[in-house]
Chain A
Amino acid sequence: MTKTVAIIGGGVAGLETAKQLNSLGYSVKLFEKTNTLGGHVAKWDRLFPNKRHASEVVSSLTLSQGNTQTITETTVHSIKRENQGFVISANSSNHEADAVVLATGFELFPAEKKEEYGYGLFENVITSADLEQMFKKHGKPVMASGHKPVRIAFIHCVGSRDEKVNRPYCSKVCCVTAVKQAIEVKEALPNSEVFCFYMDLRMFGPGYEDLYKEAQSKGVTFIRGRLSESSEIEGGRVLIKAEDTLASTPLKMSVDIVVLMVGMSPLRGTNKLATDLGLSINADGFIAATDLHTNPTGTATNGVFVVGACTGPNNITDTINAAKATVLDVHNYLSR
Chain B
Amino acid sequence: MKLEGKRKIWNEYQKDIADDKYFYVRSCIRQAVFPGSENTYLRIMRDVLKKDVHESAHHTTCTGIGYHTEVVPFETIQTVVARNFALMREAGYENYTPSCVTSFGIYTEILDTWHHFPEEKKRTAEYLKKATQRDFQEPGNMAHTSDIIYKFRHQIAEKAKYKLVNRITGLPLKVVDHIGCHYAKMFPEKGIGGAEHPHVLAGLIEAFGGEVIDYPERRHCCGFGFRQYFIKANRGYSIAASKKKFESMEPYQPDLILTNCPGCNYFMDRWQYALAEMEGKTYDTQGNGIPVLAYEELAGLMLGFDPWEMGLQMHQVGIETLMDKIGIPYNLSEKYKGAKGEDLGVPESPRNIKFYK
Which A residues have a C-beta under 8 Å from some C-beta of B? 112, 115-116, 120-123, 229, 231-234, 239
CA distance A122 to B197 in the complex (A): 12
The interface residues of chain A, by DSSP majority, are classed as: mixed
Chain A neighbourhood of B8, CB < 8 A = 112, 120
Q: Which residue of B lies closest to A231 (CB)?
A: B216
| 8 Å CB contact of B6 from A121, A231, A233 | A121
**Can you list 26 pairs linking A and B with CB atoms under 8 Å apart?**
A112-B9, A115-B9, A115-B195, A115-B196, A116-B196, A116-B219, A120-B2, A120-B5, A120-B8, A121-B1, A121-B2, A121-B5, A121-B6, A121-B197, A123-B1, A123-B2, A229-B196, A229-B219, A231-B214, A231-B215, A231-B218, A231-B219, A232-B1, A232-B214, A233-B216, A234-B251
> Distance in Å from the Cβ of B152 to the closest Cβ of chain A?
27
Are B2 and A115 neighbours in the complex by a CB distance under 8 Å? Answer: no
Residues of A within 8 A of B216 (CB): 231, 233, 239
Shortest distance between the CB of A256 and any CB in chain B (Å): 15
Determine which residue in A121, A229, A233 has the highest number of CB atoms from chain B within 10 A of its CB, and name it.
A121
In the bound assembly, the distance between CA atoms of A239 and B2 in angstroms comes to 16
A232 to B252, CA, bound (A): 13
Question: Nearest A residue to B194 by beta-carbon distance?
Answer: A115
The minimal Cβ–Cβ distance linking A54 to chain B, given in whole angstroms, is: 29
B235-269 Cβ-contact flags toward A at 8 Å (1 or 0): 00000000000000001000000000000000000
The verdict on A122 contacting B215 (CB below 8 Å), with A112-B8, A115-B196, A116-B196 known, is: no
Nearest CB in chain B: distance from A255 CB, A:
13
Residues of B within 8 A of A229 (CB): 196, 219
Whether the pair B196, A122 counts as a contact (CB closer than 8 A) is no
CB neighbours of A234 from chain B (8 A): 251
Binding site for A on B (CB under 8 A): 1-2, 5-6, 8-9, 194-197, 214-219, 251
The docked-state distance in angstroms from the alpha carbon of A239 to that of B216 is 7
The distance in angstroms between the C-alpha atoms of A112 and B196, with both chains bound, is: 11
Cβ–Cβ < 8 Å partners of B217 in chain A: 231
A114 to chain B, nearest CB (A): 9
Chain A residue at minimum C-beta to C-beta distance from B13: A115
Chain A residues within an 8 Å CB radius of B215: 231
What residues on A are CB-neighbors of B9 within 8 Å?
Answer: 112, 115, 121
Given pairs A115-B194, A115-B197, A120-B2, 18 additional interface contacts (CB within 8 A): A112-B5, A112-B8, A112-B9, A115-B195, A115-B196, A120-B8, A121-B2, A121-B5, A121-B6, A122-B1, A122-B2, A123-B1, A229-B196, A231-B219, A232-B1, A233-B216, A234-B251, A239-B216
Residue of B nearest to A230 (CB): B216
A193 to chain B, nearest CB (A): 20
On chain A, the residues within 8 Å of B214 by CB distance are 231-232
Considering the complex, give the chain A residue whose CB is closest to the CB of B218: A231
Look across to chain B and name the residue whose beta carbon is closest to the beta carbon of A119.
Answer: B5
In the assembly, what is the distance between CA of A234 and CA of B251, in Å? 10
Report which residue of B1, B5, B8, B218 has the largest number of chain A beta carbons within 10 angstroms of its beta carbon.
Answer: B5
How far, in angstroms, from A231 to B216 measured CA to CA in the complex?
5
Q: Report Cα–Cα, A112/B8, bound state, in Å.
A: 10
Residues in B whose Cβ lies below 8 Å from that of A231? 214-219
A151 to B2, CA, bound (A): 22
Measured CB to CB, the closest approach of chain B to A214, in angstroms, equals 34
CA A115 – CA B195 in complex, angstroms?
Answer: 9
Residues of A within 8 A of B251 (CB): 234
How far does the alpha carbon of A326 sit from the alpha carbon of B214 in the complex, in Å?
A: 53
